[in-house]
Homo-oligomer: A and B are copies of this chain.
Amino acid sequence: MDCTIVKIGGSIIDSPEQLQRFLQDFASISGAKILVHGGGVMASRLQKALGQQPVMVDGRRVTDEQALKAVVMVYAGWCGKNIVAGLQSLGCSAIGVSGADADLIRAVRRAPVPVDYGYVGDITPESINTDFLTLLLRAGITPVFCAVTHDGCGQLLNTNADTVASCLAAALAQTGHISLTYCFEKDGVLYDKDDDSSVIPEISSGMYRSLRSEGRIAAGMIPKLDNAFAALRNGVSEITVTHARSLLSGKGTKIIL
């Protein structure tokens, strides 16, 4: 079935005003839709309030038992349920889910070498339970995914939200036209990462390889773009990287093969 998938990043979620504006735009999208959200800024803040020191390696959280607890409480708890309550108030009937719920995303815990990331799960498009996902979408319910999965043996796992979005998109691409938008706090992929106005309107995989080898792509953008190209190769129809306020405008960077 045709579906619009939107990923919203942690720093937008952290601002009640920006989140509210974004949810209004998201709720107005017609047809089947899915929201995937981060929450890393809040999770780090909770870790600090509990006396933990967040540890990141290559922009990814090292998730020991205490970090996992903070991540699950923030992502699946406070962020997810507030987003759902907000969408309900806007007439969009949403349901907040992790990958454990209805076995929607079953992950494989990452091997502890070369870096031991702890309770972190890796997924592929085959990890997605598309049967239950389409049952929800056909019932007019909007799934709101947090970046928590499970291993099928009772263990919750922290999984990158960009990857969740791209795997959902790739899994559903077998069934219809899928549009995937990554919303964050920049206007798109930047040619000069220090110049917010240098948005690249369209980026191909060849252009991406060149820009990356020149060190022009911001570190945080690399996994997002790797995910985006993987999703395109898996049949996703259109992918855009844009600012959260531009969700409906068509502005931003189009990702093409």
Contact = CB atoms under 8 A, between A and B. Distances in A.
Interface of A: 46, 49-50, 69, 72-78, 80-82, 84-86, 88-89, 93-98, 100-103, 132, 135, 139, 141, 148, 150, 152-156
Contact of A85 (B95, B141, B150): B150
A76 B95 CA distance: 12
A215 B75 CA distance: 44
A17 B50 CA distance: 25
B84 A80 contact: no
A80 B94 CA distance: 18
A84 B96 contact: no
A74 B73 contact: yes
14 contacts: A72-B81, A73-B73, A75-B77, A76-B81, A81-B156, A82-B156, A84-B100, A85-B155, A85-B156, A88-B100, A93-B103, A96-B97, A132-B139, A132-B141
The winner among A72, A75, A85, A96 for most chain B CB atoms within 10 A is A85
Given A80-B76, A88-B154, A98 B96 contact: yes
A125 to B, nearest CB: 20
